[in-house]
Structure 1
Amino acid sequence: MPVPEFILQLRRGVGHDPLFLTGVTAVVVRHDEAGTPEVLYGRRADNGLWALPSGIVEPGEQPGSTVVREVLEELRVEAEAERLALVTTDPPITYPNGDVCQFVSLTFRCRYLGGEAAVGDDESLEVAWRRADDPPTDLDALQRRRLAVALTDDSACVFDR
């Protein structure tokens, strides 16, 4: 997974010390011919697991723009961020090279606008639409929570206290 240039610059100064970053996740929803909701997933190149599209907010970028950019770059689908569904602080992650990050994670419910889902960069191995009620079995607990909250009709953002 390519590391954004601004993080490489930060790492030159802080080494492997923890970075607190803002991440975004998209729950992109479309409806099939029968009106059944479907959600877009990508199989990650780094661990081989299915996941919702996600990325890091870069300096000067708005989170709603980031989530749309990431979906297009990774999975070649045009989407529109409809609402902020969930805000969490995820547990720290230690990467194989020793870098430590913790993300404030913003999950957006997004509406499909167009495009043929396809692998868009080296971060994904494959792409699939799946029925909203049939997510991939290898989604972790954080991903499952993001999905469940974003698929509700509640317009209020959920956040932990």
Structure 2
Amino acid sequence: MPVPEFVAALRSRIGHAPLPLNGVIAVVLDERDRVLLGRRSDTSDWALITGCLEPGEQPAEGARREVLEETGVTVEVERLLSIEALDLSVAPNGDQVYWLAIGFRCRAVGGDARVNDDESVEVGWFASDSMPPLPPHQTRCLALALAGDADPWFAAPASAVRPFIRSAP
């Protein structure tokens, strides 16, 4: 998988230490509401289309760019699905990443789905009732995309707002 230049520059300084990165998850639907998936070259697992945002890149633009780069499909980004801090992940080379994943529902508007870079070994359209297993955060994004115009999902804060308690004078 190609490493963005800015990540390579950071890694040259911090090695494999945990690095916070912003990423996008694109749930791409076609005119029949089939879902576009890619079989990852690093794990051979099927997954929604994902990628790392470039510094200063707007998340919706990053989702559009990643789908085009990885699959050759042009999309219109329809709406925000979720924002989620993922658990620490470790790449096969030992690099550690804390991803902030931003999910979007996208609609295919052009292009033919194909393997368009080295991040996937296969791409394909799947009916929502015959999906291969996906990671839990991707399953949540898919459910939100298929639910219509549901509100975006985010994890609830760990603790409720605490009332202000004034100490005695």
- Shorter-chain TM-score: what band? over 0.9
Q: CA deviation at 1:133?
A: 2.4
- Aligned twin of 2:31: 31
- Aligned twin of 1:142: 137
Output the TM-score relative to the length of structure 1. Answer: 0.93
1:64 paired with 2:64, answer no
Letter in 2 for 1:154: D
SS of the aligned residue for 2:30 comes to: strand
Q: CA deviation at 1:61?
A: 0.9
Structure 1 stretch displaced more, 148-157 or 114-123: 148-157
Q: Is the Cα–Cα contact under 8 Å of residues 16 and 99 in structure 1 kept in the other structure?
A: yes
Q: CA deviation at 1:141?
A: 1.9
Q: Is the Cα–Cα contact under 8 Å of residues 85 and 149 in structure 1 kept in the other structure?
A: yes
1:12 paired with 2:9, answer no
Structure 1 stretch displaced more, 121-130 or 93-102: 93-102
Aligned counterparts of 1:41 and 1:17: Cα–Cα separation in 2:
30
Identical aligned residues as a percent: 48
Aligned counterparts of 2:84 and 2:6: Cα–Cα separation in 1:
23
SS of the aligned residue for 1:31 comes to: coil
In structure 2, stretches of 5+ residues that fail to align are 157-169
- Aligned twin of 2:81: 85
The structure with the larger Rg is 2
Aligned length: 156
Structure 1 stretch displaced more, 151-160 or 43-52: 151-160
Output the TM-score relative to the length of structure 2. Answer: 0.88
1:154 paired with 2:157, answer no
Alignment RMSD: 1.1
In structure 1, stretches of 5+ residues that fail to align are none
Report which of the two has the higher share of strand.
1
Aligned counterparts of 2:103 and 2:130: Cα–Cα separation in 1:
19
Q: Following superposition, which runs of at least 4 residues in structure 1 exceed 4 angstroms of deviation?
A: none
